[in-house]
Every structure is written in structure tokens, then in C-alpha cells.
């Protein structure tokens, strides 16, 4: 029996739910589908205020996605320092930053051609 492929929209909604559950800040979705030679369809970028919150966001995202749709990331890196953690779900890549690291790398400007959606926090 094969597992049905989960739509990117469902995955994105669950990732955002996981981020918001532990009060991740400044959630932005970059739609990369119309840009040539990208390795993924979407980036979701957010930040936390400390190493502890960054790890809490990562854990919450992974727990939420795993619980609701039984998906695990293909790859995760950066958890040791928890300044910039990347969670790779193949067609959606999540970047969880500490604020100063996010400002330094400024992925939104690097991918300036992407369609950008900002999620308003409900808290």
C-alpha cells in the first residue's frame, strides 16, 4: 500500500500551526515555483528569540506534521547551535532563525523574485 502524497498547502498549514503553537515570530512564505533551478517549491522562514525557542519551534513543527500527516523531514540541520535550523520536507523547506541571524542572511532579499506571503500572528 502506498502513502498518498500530501499537498504542499496542507504541509504549509501544519508547519505554520507548529510555529504558532510556540509563538514563533515573523512567519514568511516564499513561493519559489516560478523561479528557475530552485531545489524546492517553498521556503517558510520564521524566527525565535533564543536557542531554546528556536529548538521549541523546530520540535513543534516536527511533532505537528508527524502527528497529523505522519510525515518526517527528509533532513534537519543546525539544531546543535540553534541559531539557524533548516527542516527539509523536500518540497517545503523551513528556516528557523534567531532574529539577528535572520537579519544577517536576509533570505527574503536573496530570493527577491519569489512571491512572498507574510502570516500575521494571532497572538
- Could you state, in order of their start, the residue ranges of all structural domains in the chain? 8-118
Residue range 51-72, pLDDT digits in tens? 999 999 999 999 999 999 999 9
Look-up: residue for cell 517549491?
Answer: 41
Evaluated on CA atoms 74, 25, 12, 108, the torsion sign reads: negative
Look up residue 91 and give its DSSP letter. S
pLDDT at 64: 98
Confidence of residue 120 (pLDDT cuts 50, 70, 90): confident
| Residue-wise burial string across 12-49, b where 16 or more C-beta atoms lie within 10 A, e elsewhere | bebbbebbbebebbbbbbbbbeeeeebeebbbbbbbbe
* ∠ Cα 6 98 16 (to 5°): 25
pTM: 0.92
Question: What local confidence, expressed as pLDDT, does residue 32 receive?
Answer: 97
Q: Which fold has domain 8-118?
A: Beta Polymerase; domain 2 (3.30.460)
Amino acid at each position: 500500500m502506498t502513502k498518498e502524497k500530501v499537498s504542499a498547502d496542507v504541509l504549509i498549514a501544519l508547519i505554520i500551526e507548529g510555529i504558532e503553537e510556540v509563538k514563533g515570530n515573523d512567519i514568511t512564505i516564499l513561493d519559489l515555483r516560478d523561479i528557475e533551478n530552485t531545489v524546492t517549491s517553498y521556503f517558510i522562514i520564521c524566527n525565535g528569540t533564543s536557542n531554546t525557542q528556536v529548538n521549541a519551534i523546530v520540535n513543534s513543527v516536527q511533532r505537528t506534521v508527524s502527528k497529523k500527516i505522519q510525515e518526517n523531514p527528509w533532513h534537519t540541520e543546525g539544531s546543535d547551535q540553534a541559531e539557524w535550523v533548516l527542516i527539509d520536507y523536500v518540497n517545503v523547506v523551513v528556516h528557523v532563525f534567531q532574529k539577528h541571524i535572520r537579519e544577517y542572511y536576509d533570505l527574503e532579499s536573496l530570493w527577491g523574485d519569489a512571491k512572498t506571503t507574510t502570516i500575521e500572528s494571532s497572538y
